[in-house]
């Protein structure tokens, strides 16, 4: 995962896939996908992640709980992604 540039944000890290973005808030991982979050929103989230500013606010204001899945560990996340891609 890439470290999120804004150290004052709730988001501490992120990672992209073709049709998703993963964010880490504290010790929790959130998977946002085109299917659940929407292509336009996902594109904007990826832009904000690269810029390093505004991602947490964008999620709070626009996405809320429209994520595909939430995980308490990176191990759970990786197992889900592996299953999801097969």
**Does some domain include residue 81?**
no
Element at 32 (helix H, strand E):
strand 28-33
- What's the structural domain count of the chain? 1
pTM of the complete model beyond 0.85: yes
**Does some domain include residue 78?**
no
Tens-place pLDDT, residues 1-32 = 999 999 999 999 999 999 999 999 999 999 99
Structural domain boundaries enclosing 69: 2-73
**Does some domain include residue 30?**
yes
* 57 vs 51: CA distance, rounded Å: 13
Tens-place pLDDT, residues 54-81 = 999 999 999 999 999 999 999 999 999 9
Strands 20-25 and 11-17: antiparallel
**Does some domain include residue 86?**
no
């Amino acid at each position: 995962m890439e470290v999120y540039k804004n150290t004052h944000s709730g988001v501490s890290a992120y990672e992209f896939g073709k049709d998703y973005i993963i964010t880490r808030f504290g010790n929790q991982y959130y998977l946002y996908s085109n299917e659940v979050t929407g292509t336009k929103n996902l594109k904007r989230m990826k832009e904000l992640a690269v810029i390093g500013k505004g991602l947490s606010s964008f999620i709070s204001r626009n996405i809320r709980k429209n994520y595909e899945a939430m995980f308490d560990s990176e191990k759970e996340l990786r197992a889900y992604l592996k299953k999801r891609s097969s």
